[in-house]
Structure 1
Amino acid sequence: MAHIDYYFATLSPFTYLSGTRPAEVAKKHGATIAYKPLDIMALFARTGGTPPKDRHPNRQAYRLQDMARRSKLLGAPLNLKPAFWPTNGAPSSYAIIAAQNTGGDVAALVKAFGAACWADERDISQDDVVRDCLEKTGFDPALADKDMMTSADTFAKNLEDAVSAGAFGAPFFITDTGECFWGEDRIDDLDAYLAGNI
């Protein structure tokens, strides 16, 4: 059975635009998927990336154009400059880690946090938003406070695992064969790879 490690940041617009498609691709091919939220700014620092605010104006302008185009193509509403971005991605990440340990629709939860930040102008660092996203996707809102030390350790380990495995951005997909796919626009490539077409 194939396996996918899905490295992502709840703050990433491209994680939001990925929606539930990574889970759908995994299911289509009978693959397992592990959700590995991480600190994207720390990943950038460790792998030679640059935070969006520090990029050359040409790169900043292109990023906004690309986000707008992708949101239209995917039918996903998106505010190019949301009110609560950047913010602390740890609380939402901890909730995802705790939720994954209980089962349930983790893909829907990841999408809910992305929509809260990028479409609904909500601060995903706030406890009430975290609890609301958990509840709306069928999880116990109390997971927001469950095993936080374990979740914090896992969050930190995800960063180390990402660097070791070759990831440098989000979303980033790595198969059990070591094949890497970076970006929301590479999910179709991941699909094709798992199908044996590339």
Structure 2
Amino acid sequence: MTKSTENIEKKIEAQLEKLKQLKAQKQAIEARERTKKKEQERKDDTRRKILLGSYLIKKMNANEANKEKILAELNEYLTEDRDRQLFNLSPINDIQEKKYDTFEKEFKSFEEADSFSKRFLNNMNVFTSIKEINGLWTLKIAVEEFSDHYIELADIFYNPSYEELHTDDEDDQWEPDFDSDRKVTDVGLNGYPSGYDTSLTNRY
């Protein structure tokens, strides 16, 4: 190998080594960028959860019905006792010992199911869900066995006449409007209107 060829070989080796170092630097930069991106995503996710939690806590404090509904959802969602303690929920073992029945009722539209839920379930302290199944909207609740409202809820869901009877009850609450402009007839003690000529009523 000539001196000239040897010098060229050394230059090639030097360039290859430099290229190797540049590739390593590039990989290191890309790794840092990926780590930085993941860290930012983690921070964004944490902030998102904090903001959502703050919103839900504010919503719970503003309305008792919202609070009970959110706690009912957390009761189903949280499976670690240390997490459940943060919301004063019963230990998971106590929950698992309880038995629940699922009540379902089908409706032709979401609006119909939602209206039924608001009319009859708002004061029952139960978590409701409405889902579309096979073209019908199904209103569903989970009811603890032997709970205070178990029988009443069963009647609401499975008595075909319940809604009709309840509507009749609402109609029975109608009261006459005594402040209207309609003419009121003054009836005397004899059962006839005031000023009525009774001279002919006892002819026979």
Q: Is TM more than 0.5 here?
A: no
TM-score range, shorter chain: under 0.3
Higher relative contact order (CA 8 A, sep 6+): 1
Q: Which structure has the larger Rg over C-alpha atoms?
A: 2
TM-score by length of 2: 0.22
